[in-house]
Amino acid sequence: MGGGNGAGGEGVGDEGARSAVRRRFAEAAREERPDLALLCLLIGAEAVLGTQGNATGDAAGDAAGEQEHTPDDESALDRILDEGQAELDRLAGLLPFERGRTPAQWARTLQQVLGEEQGFAGSSSDYQRLESSLLPEVLRRRRGLPILLSVVWTEVARRAGAPVYGVALPGHFVVGFGDPGASHVLADPFAGGKQLGEEELSVMVAGATGGTPLSAASLRPAGPLETVLRILNNIRAWASPRPEQSGVRLWAVELSLLLPHHPGRLRFERAQLLVERGEFIRGAREMEEYADIVATMEPNAAENVRRAARAARARLN
C-alpha cells in the first residue's frame, strides 16, 4: 500500500463489513477497561473492510447494528482481529523470562527484542503513509508512527507482565516502564526503543511546542481512549490535505464520534465532509442539528453553521 493509495482509499466498500466494525468498535470503547490493541485493530479493519468511497449513514446507528451484516463480514473481521492479537502474543513470547526486572531492564529487553531483533522502528517517510497509523500494517511492516509503535511496545510488554504505559508527549508518543510517580524510565519506540534522559525529553518537548518546558503533566500515562482518539486525529490530519482521501477522513471522524468522550466540533466536521462528498441534504441537516446544540453557548457560531447549511441546500438548485 502506498501513501496515496493505501488501505482505506476510495472505493465501493462493503456496507455490512463497515457495520460490523462500527458495532464492535462502539462496544469495545465502552468497556470498563478498554482493550487498546482491539480498538487499534478495529481501526485497521475499518480501513480494509469498511466503506470508504461510499461512506454514508449515521455512525451511531451503524454501531447499534441497524445496518445488516452477514457471517462473512464477521468472519473477515474476526480474521483481522485474531491475526493481530496472535502476533502480539507471539512477540510477547519472544521476551526472555526473568524475575524482578527493574524498569530500565524492561526497557532494555523490549529494545533488544522489538527494536533490534524484530526491527520495529520509524523514519520520517512513515509520516506520509496511512499504513503507519494502522496496527495490522505496523505489525506486518515493522514500521509506523511513534504512537502506533508505542502501542506495539505497551501491548507486548503488558502481555509479559511489565509495568508499562504510554506517554502522550506533545508531538511525540513514547513508552514508560515502572511507576510514573516514582522510579521509571521512558523509551522511544520510534528510535527502536532508545531510553530517553531528561535532557532529551526536554529538547523533544521544546521542539514540538516552541519552547514550553517539560512538565509533570506531560509525563502522565495516556489512557486507551485518549490514545485511540490521538491515532484517529493523526489519520484525519493525514487525509485532510488529500481531497481524494475524503472517505478516509470521514471514517476517522465517524469512529471518533463513537468514543464516549470526543470533541463536539467533530459533528460539524462530519457534516462538512458529507457536503464535500455530494450528500448535500444529509450534510445540511447535520449542520442544523449541530447549530441547535451550540446555539445557547455560541449564538454567532450557530448562525454561521446555519448559513453553511443553507448554502449546502442551495447547491441542489
pLDDT at position 70 is 58
Integer Cα distance of 227 and 21 in angstroms: 19
pLDDT at position 45 is 95
235: which residues sit within 8 A by CB, 6+ positions away?
A: 43, 130, 133, 248, 249, 252
Query: Which DSSP state fits 167?
Result: E
Percent of the chain topping pLDDT 90: 72
pLDDT band at residue 71 under the 50/70/90 scheme: low
Average pLDDT over residues 32-55: 83
* Strand ranges for the chain from DSSP E: 164-169, 172-178, 184-188, 194-196, 221-222
Lowest mean pLDDT among 68-77, 250-259, 301-310: 68-77
pLDDT at position 281 is 94
The pTM score is 0.86
- In order of 40, 151, 177, 194, 249, the CA distances from 219 in angstroms are 22, 16, 12, 17, 29
